[in-house]
């Protein structure tokens, strides 16, 4: 009888320990979700938090992406160049540059009353050289020659570049090429 009693008592302790462990793991999981970025609409929350700060505060805090919402397309088109100039005036022009990297519309498709969400990106000039082309055709024709010329111009410094990426510039319809320093 004593043996069965001890076994039942140990079994109860084990069950209690399992329950405590389960509760602690559940609590740890719940509290760690926000830290791991597993919150709903994380990008929207980040945009909202950053939108609360002024553009100048975001630049001075060395944020690589600046988000700004404009009331409509007309407001965006009349203000975004000025906003770019303001951001670029706040950084060392030899070390960084801001570019308009993306725009989206709250209505999904552009309309005169849809809000415009613009994303500006900080480009590290110590890592990237940017070159603009009139179109994808011009880019495809010239990019290899431009890369060769760039590499030749910095060859004596022991630096080499590669083509990292190219993208259509919003509102400009030109192509922006990123030449990345590899050595």
Q: Domain range spanning residue 68? A: 40-125
Reported as a single tens digit per residue, the pLDDT across 131-169 is 999 999 999 999 999 999 999 999 999 999 999 999 999
Residues 93 and 119 in one domain: yes
Reported as a single tens digit per residue, the pLDDT across 168-178 is 999 888 999 99
Residues 44 and 119 in one domain: yes
Q: Indicate whether this model's pTM tops 0.75.
A: no
Residues 62 and 14 in one domain: no
Residues 26 and 44 in one domain: no
Reported as a single tens digit per residue, the pLDDT across 7-26 is 555 666 667 777 776 666 65
Phi-psi region of 159 (alpha: psi -120 to 50; beta: other; left: phi over 0): beta
Residues 63 and 112 in one domain: yes
């Amino acid at each position: 009888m004593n043996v069965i009693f001890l076994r039942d008592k140990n079994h109860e302790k084990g069950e209690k320990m399992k329950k405590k462990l389960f509760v602690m793991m559940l609590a740890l999981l719940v509290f760690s979700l926000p830290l791991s970025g597993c919150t709903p609409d994380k990008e929207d929350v980040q945009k909202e938090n950053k939108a609360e700060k002024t553009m100048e505060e975001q630049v001075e805090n060395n944020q690589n992406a600046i988000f700004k919402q404009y009331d409509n397309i007309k407001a965006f088109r009349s203000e975004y160049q000025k906003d770019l100039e303001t951001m670029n005036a706040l950084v060392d022009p030899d070390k960084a540059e801001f570019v308009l990297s993306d725009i989206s519309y709250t209505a999904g498709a552009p309309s005169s009353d849809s809000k415009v969400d613009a994303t500006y990106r900080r480009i590290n000039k110590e890592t990237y050289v940017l070159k603009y082309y009139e179109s994808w055709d011009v880019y495809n024709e010239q990019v290899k020659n431009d890369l060769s010329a760039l590499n030749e111009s910095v060859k004596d410094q022991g630096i080499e570049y590669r083509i990292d990426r190219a993208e259509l510039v919003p509102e400009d319809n030109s192509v922006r090429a990123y030449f990345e320093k590899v050595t």
